[in-house]
Structure 1
């Protein structure tokens, strides 16, 4: 009887912090792009997460997306003139990840590159931007 009483008291004081089995764990990704001197003349680029289209991103805009826990792949769609290197992130539940994208222009092509950014720096850069308009 005593072990049952102790277990009951422990559960009352600690609370039931288990997630429901059907609620997936997730995190947040904030993908942004600053103003660029040559940025495809303001062109919005479509981006994907784990091979699934999520939206578009224009210069001086940001998007906030819920992402799954685990290893994810973020990339922009390729076209004739623009290529993209995928960015792989190891995602933990409840975290927010900031990723900056930029277009690097070469003679006849351009490359969309991405890099994770320190949260403090990202928040400072995001103050000057607007959210991306939905499709």
Structure 2
């Protein structure tokens, strides 16, 4: 199954939540509350981590937590370009997290493209972001830090 993935609410904007959603025939979304993002970023900064690493890794962790329960059924991922110039880094982090539970996902089947506002993934992400729909899962502080 090929899925498109979109984000609403930037990872680096700690005043708003972040929603990551995928869609093709099925729709699924995870919510990272703003308070959770702030708490994670504060802890990581206290550990001496900084810069773009924080945000690209946090985005990749969000992708992983969105996909991990579905990944064995997925054949291709099309991720909306949210952070131009960071795609290779995000892809590497995501692949490394997928390998931990023993999933081999073909790196050539992960693509970064502008998917547009007409995508069902975008519609799901924005609906959850605007609280029109509920997230399928809310990600907490411990889940994120477990992947660092």
More strand by share: 1
Larger radius of gyration: 1
Q: Same fold, TM exceeding 0.5? A: no
Q: TM-score, normalised to structure 2's length? A: 0.29
More helix by share: 2
Q: TM-score, normalised to structure 1's length? A: 0.31
